[in-house]
Structure 1
Amino acid sequence: MKRNLFWALFGPQFIILLACILSLAAYAWRGNRRAVSAGWLHVLESQASLAARLVLDGNGALKSPADLEALCAQLFRETGQRVTVVAPDGRVMADSEARSESMLLHADRPEILDALRTGTGHSERFSTTLRQMMHYVARPVAGPAGMPVAVVRVAVARQAFDAPFRRSMRFFSLLLTLIVVSSVGLSYFFSRRVTRPVRAMLAGLRRIGAGDLAHRLPHPRIHHLSALTHAINETGERLEQQVRQLADERALRESILAGMREGVLALDRERRIVLVNQAARNLLQLGTRPVEGETLDLAVPCAELLALADAAATDPAPLAADIRFHGPRQQPIQFWAGASRWCGADGSHDGLLMILSDLTHLRRLEQVRRDFVANVSHELRTPVTSIKGFAETLLDTAPADEATRRRFLQIILKQTAQLETILSDMLLLARLEDAGSELAVEPVDVRRLIGQSCELCESRAAAHQVTLKQETPEAFTFPGHAHLLEQALVNLIDNAIKYGGAGRTVTVRAAARNQTLRLTVQDQGPGIDPAQSERIFERFYRLDAGRSRDRGGSGLGLAVVKHVVRVHHGTASFENLPAGGCAFHIDLPVGLPPAEPQT
């Protein structure tokens, strides 16, 4: 491109300049040659006319041959030109450079014939006498009677004739060469002066086209190119502002889409995916693979979603539907999908916009609420029924003996305590799940925490013939809520006492490792079925509902443990031991302060 641009400007200039100079040279050469020839002819004609008068004597008669020979020799010496006197019949009467007797007849010479016929003869031909090209001019000599008595011919060698022409042409050639070199140099300079800024402009435009919109073209000295550069720079500035504005709008759009909890899916007329945000990817289980450009039926094999898209494409009103979808991970998902048509800048229908809202968690919460209401109703029904039944019995018919009445009252008291336990645990769970409540943090001594928890369970352990064993570090404190952690340990110890079996040992230990404190409650019972591991921390879930209720459990103990640990940024887990028994673990990050409760 660089060479083409230069030759596009310099080439035509050089050709035109060369053609003009060559034309001028040809014209000058011809003109100069004509001028030199005309000058020589004029000189020769003048000399021929002078010689024609000199060959006559005072009486107008032709001089003698000897006088003519002397005259020719004298003229040759003075002018350097050959002079010949020829008789009308062609005989050579005298010659300045040859003997007349040895010369042939000249009656057939063109210049002699023209001089006798017209008065002046010209000829340029090869001289057989001198063996070179000669230029001849002849004039007739009139006698007293007016008739030609001789012809005087003056000749000069062609070499002498061309010498002045060659000298003038050498000077002209030198001058012409200087003009050519100067003109070509100036043309080259001005071509470079134009092409250099044009190449700079081209390089700058390529940089701008490659994405460097902040680049500006330098202003050349040429006015028109400077104006063009100024216009290009202004266009570049406007383009940079527009691109920056589009980039900001795109970043804002992507931020909005990325921050939306709802999934956004845009389709073109052919149902190809144009845009999909991360929420839609997660909901439709698309992963990280690029789906832009794929059709909806290939990317998301969901018949209900495809049916909604087909219906929305023909209906100008927005449509919506609840959709159940089993994705590649075979996890059932339920979501709400709204579909409406979107139009381009010209107002034409260009595709569909679909908004997806995950209903899976909401449906799960609704199911949890229904299960919770059912479980609470079921858990409360038994003690309330017992209390009501025994109270009505006492009111309707008094027992025959004091022992029966007392046993009825003890049953009522036990069921009342069961109700109190259930309500207390429910209130504690509500407080832990309340995001607005604040957690009082204080330094907690691990040995004291485990000691007080075991002390609270001593009477129950003694009743079940269970030994409580403590394994604690020498001295260790961490930030936490002492009462809640004590409640969690008491629930775990109480479960271990109830399910560990009589005559067994329940071990409570604490160990710190890698900025984590692990509290463990280990029993020697039968362990827990692994199939029930996922539900062990659910509310009101019982491994053996009948036995648990007989042992006085509320069904909320492990749920309380899970929520207490969660507000301390910890985790709760359990494991069946190879030697038998089960161990529940509470892992607390002692390097982080507890946060507010989370639901």
Structure 2
Amino acid sequence: MDSLRNRLLFWLITLIVTVLIALGLLLGQLLKQFYAETMNKRMEKEAKALAILLENEPLEQIRIDLHDMGNELSSRITVLDRNEQVRFDSGRIAAISDEDHERIIRTILRKQQFPRFSVIEKANDVYYYIAPYGRGSERDGYVVLSTPTSSLKKVNQQIWGVLTSSLGMALVVMIALVFKIANQYVRPIEAATKVAFELEKGNYAARVPDGEYKEAGMLVRSINRLARNLQEMSRAREIQTDRLHTLIENVGSALLFIDHRGHVHLLNRTFQTYFHLEPSACLYRPYADVLPYRDVVRLIDDIFITETPIRRQMRLTVGIERKHFDVYGAPIIGTNAEWKGIVVVFHDITELKRLEQIRKDFVANVSHELKTPVTSIRGFAETLLDGAMKDEAALEHFLTIILKESERLQTLVEELLDLSKIEQHGFQLQLEDVDIAQVIAEAAAVFRQKAAEKQIDLHIESPSGLVIRGDRNRMKQILLNLLANAITYTPEHGRVAVEAEETKKEVLIHVKDTGIGIEEKEIPRIFERFYRVDKARSRDSGGTGLGLAIVKHLVEAHHGYITVASKVGRGTVFTIHFPKPGR
């Protein structure tokens, strides 16, 4: 019996059956005794009545009456004289022979008592009752009344039949009542118990089915209300946990949580990405065994010791790179000043450091680039004021240098302003359909004379009808800057070529030269402002170091990009990738 209902039914039915059986046995015995006692009294009265009859009437006159009375009473009437000799016998009524019948009677008489006597013969009982008769104190003989017990057995069977059927019906009614009570009270309790077990397992969607539970309805409603509250609380907790997990996993900073024992308890996805560490190799292990950076371990040690927040900037080696981090660690103190652990946040400030360095380099380069022409102009002006003005040849030479340096200074300022304008978010191109061949021809025409002076072969090649959507003047500016660098860094008798071609998705413009080339390690930096591969030659050529930076921004403004391929001593190829119209 696994369920409460089945166990209760089993024990209630067992109890009812036991009580009914005991009651049936008790009632059967009482009724049996009652009927036997009644029969004994009847036989006693009948025997005394016969004795009175014999005392008042001669035996010979009442023989026929005695036969009739024996038949009427379903009993055997035997009359004995004072010498215990049989004077009358109504005849056999049981499976007992006459000899046995007389023997039984004489045995009873020898005991000198006249109670009922029963002897079992072939599974049949016979009741004997002997009453003496006579006038006065003189005893004339005995009247023996014997009755078989078949009638008593029949009555007993009837009694047991009635008891069995009555108690059986009572049992059926009681079992029906028990089932009804069990269904009314136990079934809702059992259903509530099952739901409680499900709630214990964390299944907060479990409910007790609706129904008419009457007295148990309050329990059912309470269980369902508890389940709904737990489900809402669980759902709210899941939402909060998901939000917290999403926040921790997607925050831009690396996050590390260490419990009060010093074991790593949590690290987010950014931490794994930054330091290339797997959670399986870190979780639930001491932080000193997991973190390969002594500076970080020392910071965590200091927080454990001082129990105060600490912020430090660190430069850590991750793989083959050196990265800068702003590391902030703080203790986590719960209620009642309970120590929970430490949270450490790593902010990657490598890009900020790089931008700060670029800013410093930019300020230094601008200062240097401005200082050079200003110094030249000031120096030659002071020389002229000191008396060189009287020498017309020196005056003309110095004024020419001053003019050249002032033009260089003007070019630097103009390119700085142009670059600043291009980098602004509000910068817009004047878009139109631009013929690539025509723009290449116009840009090449500007450098024909300079190329001829250095005996450089300036070659252009572009298919006719090649058109892109762009700003004509800005595209021409891109080619002018690239051609200026190509001719500047290409020695005499070299070759510079501008070629255009079309692919399935792009329009490509190649600017090739046979110049000094660029080392591979220098290529990622050539588009930085004021960066020069050959600083001495660049300054002598009048370059500002801003040309390629302007080119890169203008190409990107056209939704394109620029690539570089170069070999030292063999030349360089700049390739501009413009998207085709409609892409």
Q: Which of the residues 354, 359, 384 maps onto 2:344?
A: 354
Q: Which of the residues 508, 513, 528 maps onto 1:518?
A: 508
* AA at the equivalent of 1:269: H
Matched, 1:541 2:539: no
The equivalent of 1:443 in structure 2 is: 432
* AA at the equivalent of 2:8: L
Corresponding residue pairs, total: 578
Are 1:48 and 1:137, in contact at CA under 8 Å, matched by a contact in 2? Answer: no
Are 2:118 and 2:127, in contact at CA under 8 Å, matched by a contact in 1? Answer: yes
Helix, strand or coil: the match of 2:308? Answer: coil
The equivalent of 1:220 in structure 2 is: 211
Q: Deviation at 1:557?
A: 1.8
Give CA deviations for 1:419-441 in whole Å, capped at 9, x if unaligned. 23333332233233334x33234
* Structure 1 residues 471 and 577: alpha-carbon distance in aligned structure 2, compared to 1, 3 A threshold: farther
* AA at the equivalent of 1:524: T
The equivalent of 2:124 in structure 1 is: 133
Helix, strand or coil: the match of 1:301? Answer: coil
* Structure 1 residues 180 and 578: alpha-carbon distance in aligned structure 2, compared to 1, 3 A threshold: farther
Q: Deviation at 1:273?
A: 3.2
The equivalent of 2:287 in structure 1 is: 296
The equivalent of 1:172 in structure 2 is: 163
Larger mean Cα displacement after TM superposition, 137-146 or 84-93: 84-93
* Structure 1 residues 359 and 12: alpha-carbon distance in aligned structure 2, compared to 1, 3 A threshold: same
Larger mean Cα displacement after TM superposition, 396-405 or 504-513: 396-405
Aligned-partner Cα distance in 2 for 1:537–1:250? 46
Q: Which of the residues 146, 149, 167 maps onto 1:158?
A: 149
* Structure 1 residues 149 and 333: alpha-carbon distance in aligned structure 2, compared to 1, 3 A threshold: farther
Helix, strand or coil: the match of 2:492? Answer: coil
Aligned-partner Cα distance in 1 for 2:196–2:463? 74
State the Cα RMSD in Å: 3.4
TM-score w.r.t. length of structure 2: 0.87
Aligned-partner Cα distance in 2 for 1:235–1:102? 86
Q: Which of the residues 494, 497, 504 maps onto 2:487?
A: 497
Are 2:76 and 2:90, in contact at CA under 8 Å, matched by a contact in 1? Answer: yes
The equivalent of 2:107 in structure 1 is: 109
The equivalent of 1:9 in structure 2 is: 8
Q: Deviation at 1:453?
A: 2.7
Q: Deviation at 1:290?
A: 7.9
Q: Deviation at 1:346?
A: 4.4
Aligned-partner Cα distance in 2 for 1:261–1:304? 22
Aligned-partner Cα distance in 1 for 2:315–2:380? 50
Unaligned runs of 5+ in 1: 594-599
* AA at the equivalent of 1:242: M
Aligned-partner Cα distance in 1 for 2:502–2:421? 29
Helix, strand or coil: the match of 1:148? Answer: coil
* AA at the equivalent of 1:250: T
The equivalent of 1:597 in structure 2 is: none
Q: Which of the residues 52, 71, 77 maps onto 2:71?
A: 77
The equivalent of 1:21 in structure 2 is: 20
The equivalent of 1:395 in structure 2 is: 385
Are 2:431 and 2:470, in contact at CA under 8 Å, matched by a contact in 1? Answer: yes
* Structure 1 residues 255 and 527: alpha-carbon distance in aligned structure 2, compared to 1, 3 A threshold: same
Q: Deviation at 1:479?
A: 4.3
TM-score w.r.t. length of structure 1: 0.85
Helix, strand or coil: the match of 2:514? Answer: coil
* Structure 1 residues 339 and 174: alpha-carbon distance in aligned structure 2, compared to 1, 3 A threshold: same
The equivalent of 1:47 in structure 2 is: 46
Matched, 1:273 2:264: yes
Aligned-partner Cα distance in 2 for 1:248–1:84? 106
Give CA deviations for 1:48-67 in whole Å, capped at 9, x if unaligned. 22222233344xxxx45x66
* Structure 1 residues 20 and 382: alpha-carbon distance in aligned structure 2, compared to 1, 3 A threshold: same
* AA at the equivalent of 1:530: E
Q: Which of the residues 294, 309, 316 maps onto 2:300?
A: 309
Helix, strand or coil: the match of 2:511? Answer: strand
After TM superposition, the structure 1 = structure 2 runs for residues 133-532 of structure 1, keeping only pairs within 5 Å, are 133-194=124-185, 196-198=187-189, 200-201=191-192, 204=195, 213=204, 216-254=207-245, 256-257=247-248, 260-286=251-277, 291-327=282-318, 329-398=319-388, 402-435=392-425, 437-447=426-436, 448-532=438-522
Helix, strand or coil: the match of 1:375? Answer: helix
The equivalent of 1:121 in structure 2 is: 115
Q: Deviation at 1:375?
A: 2.8
Aligned-partner Cα distance in 1 for 2:81–2:103? 9
Unaligned runs of 5+ in 2: none
Aligned-partner Cα distance in 2 for 1:319–1:132? 109
Give CA deviations for 1:493-524 in whole Å, capped at 9, x if unaligned. 11112223334442223344454333321223
Aligned-partner Cα distance in 2 for 1:416–1:172? 136
Aligned-partner Cα distance in 2 for 1:267–1:182? 70
* Structure 1 residues 55 and 463: alpha-carbon distance in aligned structure 2, compared to 1, 3 A threshold: farther
Helix, strand or coil: the match of 2:388? Answer: coil
The equivalent of 2:571 in structure 1 is: 581
Are 1:132 and 1:157, in contact at CA under 8 Å, matched by a contact in 2? Answer: no
Helix, strand or coil: the match of 1:415? Answer: helix
After TM superposition, the structure 1 = structure 2 runs for residues 545-556 of structure 1, keeping only pairs within 5 Å, are 545-556=535-546
* Structure 1 residues 504 and 171: alpha-carbon distance in aligned structure 2, compared to 1, 3 A threshold: same
* Structure 1 residues 517 and 51: alpha-carbon distance in aligned structure 2, compared to 1, 3 A threshold: farther
Q: Deviation at 1:539?
A: 2.5
Q: Deviation at 1:221?
A: 1.3
* Structure 1 residues 591 and 578: alpha-carbon distance in aligned structure 2, compared to 1, 3 A threshold: farther
* AA at the equivalent of 1:134: D
The equivalent of 1:596 in structure 2 is: none
Matched, 1:31 2:20: no
Give CA deviations for 1:182-217 in whole Å, capped at 9, x if unaligned. 332442344345555455545655666666645643
* AA at the equivalent of 1:413: L
Aligned-partner Cα distance in 1 for 2:581–2:26? 105
Larger mean Cα displacement after TM superposition, 563-572 or 278-287: 278-287
Aligned-partner Cα distance in 1 for 2:463–2:280? 51
* AA at the equivalent of 1:171: V
* Structure 1 residues 138 and 287: alpha-carbon distance in aligned structure 2, compared to 1, 3 A threshold: closer
Helix, strand or coil: the match of 1:191? Answer: helix
Aligned-partner Cα distance in 1 for 2:36–2:100? 31
* AA at the equivalent of 1:122: R
* Structure 1 residues 441 and 592: alpha-carbon distance in aligned structure 2, compared to 1, 3 A threshold: farther
